[in-house]
Amino acid sequence: MKLIIEKWNKFLTEQQGARNKIFVLVGPPSVGKSTWVKSTFEEPPYIISRDDIVDKVASDYGWTTDDMFVSPPEGTKEGDEDLKYGKAIPSPSWMTWQDFVFDKVMEANNKVQNMFMNRVSGAVPSGKNIVVDMTNMSAGARSRALKAIEGAEADYDKVAVVFEHEGAEGEIKKVAAKRAAAAKRMGKSKTIPDAAFDRMLKTYEAVSSAEGFDEIVSVDNREMLRKLASEE
C-alpha cells in the first residue's frame, strides 16, 4: 500500500499546474477506495461519497442504511405490499437480477441518484480535483458520473481508478462483514446482504477508454485485503 501511495503522490506532483481531474473510483465495497483517497491527496479534493448520500436519505425516511438494500422476498407478486417499504412493482429494465422492487425503496434510491448527480455538477465550480467515491462497477454507472460534468469537460481530465478485486471476492466479503460488525457495535447499521454483494460483483464491466476516460489506472490492494480477511 505504501508503494502505491508514493506512486500516486509522485503522479499528482507531476500534474501540478495541469487541468483539474475527476477521479471515478471503480471497485466493490471494502476494497480500500476511501482509504486510498485519504492517503493519496496532499491537497484535499472535492469528494462525493455515495455512502454519505445513502446515509442521509435513509435517515430522511427513518430507515437504517440496511433498509436501502431491501428486496421483495421470493414469490412476491406485483402489488404485494409491505407496511414499511411499500408496494411491489416491476423492476426497471436495467435491474436484471430481480423481478420486483418495493416502490418506496426505489423512490429512496432515485433520490440518492439525483442528489449524487447534483453534487457532482455542483463540485465543478470548486476549482478542485473531484473524487467520485462509489462502486461504479458498470459502464452505465460510470457514464452517469461523467455525464454530470458534461458542461465542464473542457476543464477536467477524466481518470478511472480501478481497484483490482477479481480473485479476491471472498476476502473482500469477509472484510466487509468485519466492517459491518464493527459498525453495529458502534450503533450503526451498514450491512450489504450477501445476495446484493454477489449481484454487485456480477455487474462488473472492465473499464474502457471508449467510455470517455483520458486515463485508466490500477490500484491493487488484494494482498492487503487477504491479510485483513485472515486476521482474527
Domain count, the chain: 1
In a domain, 148, yes or no: yes
Task: Please say if the pLDDT value at position 138 is more than 60.
Answer: yes
Please report, for the domain that includes residue 24, its CATH number: 3.40.50.300
The domain containing residue 16 runs over which residues? 2-67+127-230
- Name the E strands within the chain: 20-26, 46-49, 81-82, 86-90, 100-102, 130-133, 156-163, 215-219
The answer as to whether 106 is a domain residue is no
Q: What is the mean pLDDT of residues 31-35?
A: 88
Answer yes or no: is 85 within a domain.
no
- Measured distance CA(9)–CA(180) in Å, rounded: 30
∠ Cα 177 114 138 (to 5°)? 55
User: Residue 163 forms beta bridges with which residues?
Assistant: 219
What are the residue ranges of helices labelled H in 17-102? 33-40, 50-60
**pLDDT score for 101:** 94
Residue 40 lies in a domain: yes
**What pLDDT is stored for residue 13 in this prediction?**
47
pTM for this predicted structure: 0.81
Residue 193 is assigned to a structural domain of this protein: yes
CA angle 111, 147, 65 (to 5 degrees): 30
218 backbone dihedrals φ, ψ, rounded to 5°: -120, 140
Asked if residue 78 is part of any domain, the answer here is no
Mean pLDDT, residues 134-142 taken together: 88
Instruction: Copy the grid coordinates of residue 24.
Output: 471515478
Provide the pLDDT for residue 151: 61
pLDDT tens for 168-201 read 888 988 888 888 787 777 776 666 777 778 878 8
- 183 lies in a domain? yes
Give pLDDT tens digits for 55-111: 999 999 999 888 998 889 989 999 999 999 999 999 988 777 788 999 999 999 999
Q: Furthest-apart CA pair in the chain: how many Å?
A: 58
The total of other beta-carbon atoms located within 10 Å of residue 151's CB is: 9
Residue holding cell 418495493? Answer: 102
| Of 115, 11, 8, 19, residue with least CA distance to 59 | 115
Q: Residue 131's beta-bridge partner residues? A: 23, 47
Residue 232 to residue 23: CA distance in whole angstroms: 34
